[in-house]
Structure 1
């Protein structure tokens, strides 16, 4: 058996190998170890000699598993392409990579684009420009079906498979003469055949040698062709493209026309004559591919200069510069290119700016036209600028209702329409937020996130009524989350535009009289375009006599609850309206809190904290400078400990929450409503009447800080002896916080220590015993910055719980 390398086989001629096969046995084509391939002539057994390669070791490598069936195989690369680099299907740029000046000019825009930008202040793109804003190359998918009318040529690869009396799995590449070589069949000319014809043709050729077989032919890798792009292209040059490429593929590869190139006249020339004229507008707007012919080697694509251009701007979805293809195109054609007129475009008027080059002194003129048959038929000329306008956003037959209402909307106007027609009932003045808050009071919950009635099987939460339990340190909750946003019944306004003066006029009216009483003086007649605004009580501060003011009354009163204040009502009058005190009421300990006072207390605490922080930093710096050289480490550790303690105290003071309590300076023997002062009440005030306690408290540097049983006639000294003073107690600065919120210090009013200790206490009073401090430490300077505990407690209204928190 003789074995030849692929190159040797080509040199000797494949036909001789096929002839030898026909005379003696099968031809075996197998991969070669050197990278080529070998053709073996034999009887289907292992070869006895080879040139430049090793024997195949399996049927896949060329050994016929069935000695009675000839097998034709080749390496994946194909026999006819030995040593040749094939161009992949797609597009490769050649000289276009160096010719980029037109691309640069395209980015700057044309002269007409710059003229429009200078004349109107708007930079318009060129229509169709975005089509080329993607990748600069276009490579068609190499696995798309090949059209049946595709014409074979040199470089195309055929995948030939047959089964039956012959086993063929062969790749053949059309050589430059248009031939392919089939062992035992011979050379066959396939160039010029269409893809739909090649299978039947090869079946006929193989059928001259074999009988009883089936044959299938598909196209593999397709050839590449060279085309040329010239004229006003963005990137002119020569391009190597797939043989499946069309004119539009090449246009995309070349980046489209330059700023001076036409999108409507792209010519394809073949063998010196025009083959097709591509209008990109037809393709972009209608998908028309009638001019998109398949390219052939040597084709020339010519970009003609741009034709007449016009600009369309204003109320259009596609403001751009458009190219006119021929004379006689109208405004209707231009609007069609832009996708038609949007709904917001006014049809009664448009503006046309035109260049008159034969009039050098006044080359530009403006004219208006309507977008009717006559206006749309206006013939356009090179350099025209068309501006479309928006419709006016005014309502010819509407009035607007807004503000504190159920449904802020525009309502159709009817002649003779009045305020009462726009707001027919009072329910229209309830906002949707009121019902949303009301519905949130009873919600279905799947988990027991709050207390649920065990007898309630449907999982509905009970209505959360305002609680009557509170402590002196708590912040007053919202009085009622379901109170409506009450409208201002005394004032509403109609906003009206005077068409003569174009001045906006405000016409105020009394809402209650217009809607409820239908007073003709207030029930104004409306006009088209009027805007009626309804205000809420929160929008405009109303007089106290008409404002809704609520006060919470809790504790030991006959009828606790939330009360709406009457004009000028005082604390004494309100508690009488609440039924007076119960027998268990402790009037001396009555807590009267106000939100405005709480805010001021919070601001005072914040200011005190800032002042104390500055004092602490100053004292720390001073002591650092005064440290001696002896035992520096011990002094530093002591100073650090003092600083930590001072900062902790500051944090505790910063976290205090004042309750806004106002000390009423009551007598311990007060027991009736008449003993209360005549304090005017405000919206949001809170009154808590506690039950009479049976204890007094001693906090601070005492051994027993528990509650101590109150007994009549017992003094501060008696309770201090009962509580026991700590060795660190500062007896000179003991003070008392009374149940009514007032504070007694031995420095106030000339009190001496023995006089303070002889002071009789009332139930609920608190004795505060500060600790004795080292006067030479940073901590002492920090405390001196506080001035004294009396001022803090008196100014901030802190209760016993807060005092104990400060100490801890």
Structure 2
């Protein structure tokens, strides 16, 4: 919907054009009742007097008497006062200035946004009062605003002069009792389409289409000069539309009330261009030449190295520099340095938006039926091997799109796989796996592990696995909450006493708190490698690798931890001969509220061993370095708790690390 031209001028209220009180009065300012005058004289007479002009237009000065100043222009005021004082004294100097100016009460009537009586400064003008009243309403005229003084029209103001030319020459100062009348809006015509200021305009007098377009700021850069449409209401009977060529004859036609002229834009189509886009150095339109082919558009592989690649590469250098500085700073903690190094690893991986050499496409428009045809070709053969069969001919308007391997999933054998090796490797770092290379093969190629490597504790974490675990955990928690709600309804039906209700409420609060803590759990994405306790490098499975995999082999830890409902949660020195029961005894044994039957061991390799799996033999199990023994609390055996099945299953199925053990408290 087109706006009414000029309405936004009054959007911010009267402060925009409100009169300023502390500006000097102009020379032609007319003195009137309510004005304050400051009279200073020195010489034969000494006068320093503030006088207010009374309703009779007089001021009274001691030793001089009454002086009539009403109707006097400010530029003549000193002369009038000098003449009056001169009748009594001689040989004096005189200065007369204005103090507080009088207020003026005027009336804004007709089709104003806020018609009414307004008290404004005597310096105010017609325009100031218009802003105080919010300007003309949508039904009011902007082009014939009248200032009336008695029976006389002092001035007629056209706001378009102010808006379009900055012309305020017909503005007039206000006097008490003035009336500002805003008549109904005149004929309206709208200009839309490709002009600089599309809007609805009020017509004044005879207005040609050329003048109407001038009001709209003229044609925009992309406007057609030979095509425009004119919608018109004829004889208040019917609507008609006409197509115009914006020549002199058409522009001379008079505009009429209700007209809508729409200037059409030129087509965005480039007549002689082919476009290169996607994973390229510079997405651009190029001029088409007769006989042009793909190799003309992409002459060599350098045309496909993106600017983003170099920007990210430069960022990686900056991150590395910052990480080094953080390492040298005495006040910078190791956490900040670790974060910087982690970002550095991520940025190295992000550099690998490799080009998909197997697939690119030409997007071509069929001019006959306006259908779009996608013409695929082998980019590598066309650019790298100069294969004439893949060096396809181009046509004007073609769009050639180059993809990265991330855009279009390549086959496993052609997909780039980046793996982070961290910890006790002879050469830790970021490696690009060869097609079909397994975890064990990659570690061997990277130089193997150090003598301190604890292979049993190797961690392989994978983003796709983490997402699956996250989804399974979310679904499980949704089911738990549904079971909770159903169980609460059933329990509430059996409540008979206030004590039962209080117990039910406490139980529900505990259940909700547990579920809330479980929602905070974050799966790690760890894949259990099922390694023997004395695992060596050769025991690592031939696991296929995915892009973004992280492999951490820690040094051999010296502790076994005991968590949960025991008297002394702590980490204890690993002793090969000690069993689970020995470590539990060191921790003071299970507490009274412990659920001994659900005790489990979270192994350093990510696996879980529970009493349900090994029965009474769990107590005699010899933990390995880095293992954690967990004793959950004994929650009431309601339906919703049984839904959780077994804490050991939760930790195993959802890939929860040792940090999640706190949820059991």
Give me the TM-score of the superposition, normalised by structure 1. 0.60
Residue of structure 2 in register with 1:778 after alignment: 636
Residue of structure 2 in register with 1:163 after alignment: 42
Kindly indicate whether the alpha-carbon contact (under 8 Å) linking 2:602 and 2:630 is maintained by their aligned counterparts in 1: no
Shift of 1:293: 5.6
Shift of 1:546: 0.7
Separation (CA, whole Å) in 2 of partners of 1:725 and 1:223: 92
Kindly indicate whether the alpha-carbon contact (under 8 Å) linking 2:143 and 2:202 is maintained by their aligned counterparts in 1: no
Higher helix share: 2
Q: Runs of 5+ in structure 1 lacking a partner?
A: 1-121, 455-460, 468-476
2:209 matches 1:331: yes
Kindly indicate whether the alpha-carbon contact (under 8 Å) linking 2:559 and 2:572 is maintained by their aligned counterparts in 1: no
Aligned-CA RMSD value: 6.1
Q: 1:519 to 1:382 in 2, by over 3 A?
A: same
Among candidates 152, 172, 191, match of residue 312 of structure 1: 191
Residue of structure 2 in register with 1:404 after alignment: 279
Among candidates 385, 389, 400, match of residue 260 of structure 2: 385
2:202 matches 1:322: yes
What SS class does the counterpart of residue 249 from structure 2 fall into?
helix
Shift of 1:137: 13
Aligned length, in residue pairs: 650
Q: 1:188 to 1:575 in 2, by over 3 A?
A: closer
Kindly indicate whether the alpha-carbon contact (under 8 Å) linking 2:35 and 2:100 is maintained by their aligned counterparts in 1: yes
Q: For 1:169-180, what aligned pairs fall within 5 Å after superposition?
A: 169=48, 171=51, 173=53
Separation (CA, whole Å) in 2 of partners of 1:765 and 1:250: 83
Q: For 1:604-623, what aligned pairs fall within 5 Å after superposition?
A: none
Shift of 1:406: 3.7
Residue of structure 2 in register with 1:340 after alignment: 218
2:514 matches 1:514: no
Separation (CA, whole Å) in 1 of partners of 2:560 and 2:52: 112
Shift of 1:135: 4.7
2:215 matches 1:349: no
Instruction: Select the structure of larger CA radius of gyration.
Output: 1
Shift of 1:486: 1.2
- Higher deviation after alignment, 700-709 or 209-218: 700-709
2:329 matches 1:450: no
Deviations 1:41-69 (A, max 9, x none): xxxxxxxxxxxxxxxxxxxxxxxxxxxxx
Shift of 1:345: 3.7
What SS class does the counterpart of residue 386 from structure 1 fall into?
strand
Shift of 1:506: 1.8
2:301 matches 1:426: yes
Q: 1:465 to 1:531 in 2, by over 3 A?
A: same
Deviations 1:384-439 (A, max 9, x none): 43233334333344444333334444455555544344444434434444434433
Separation (CA, whole Å) in 2 of partners of 1:696 and 1:300: 94
Separation (CA, whole Å) in 2 of partners of 1:784 and 1:234: 70
Deviations 1:649-705 (A, max 9, x none): 995897475562334465x787684x6665544444556667889999999989998
Kindly indicate whether the alpha-carbon contact (under 8 Å) linking 1:155 and 1:222 is maintained by their aligned counterparts in 2: yes
Kindly indicate whether the alpha-carbon contact (under 8 Å) linking 1:137 and 1:253 is maintained by their aligned counterparts in 2: no
Deviations 1:626-663 (A, max 9, x none): 9999xx89xx9999799979977995897475562334
Kindly indicate whether the alpha-carbon contact (under 8 Å) linking 1:479 and 1:684 is maintained by their aligned counterparts in 2: no
2:416 matches 1:544: no
What SS class does the counterpart of residue 334 from structure 1 fall into?
helix
What SS class does the counterpart of residue 221 from structure 2 fall into?
coil
Q: 1:300 to 1:768 in 2, by over 3 A?
A: closer
Q: For 1:623-772, what aligned pairs fall within 5 Å after superposition?
A: 651=517, 655=521, 658=524, 660-664=526-530, 673=538, 679-685=543-549, 706-707=572-573, 709-710=575-576
What SS class does the counterpart of residue 250 from structure 2 fall into?
helix
2:164 matches 1:285: yes
Separation (CA, whole Å) in 1 of partners of 2:638 and 2:159: 90
2:395 matches 1:533: no
What SS class does the counterpart of residue 451 from structure 1 fall into?
helix
Separation (CA, whole Å) in 1 of partners of 2:73 and 2:324: 79
Residue of structure 2 in register with 1:481 after alignment: 349
Shift of 1:319: 0.8
Give me the TM-score of the superposition, normalised by structure 2. 0.71
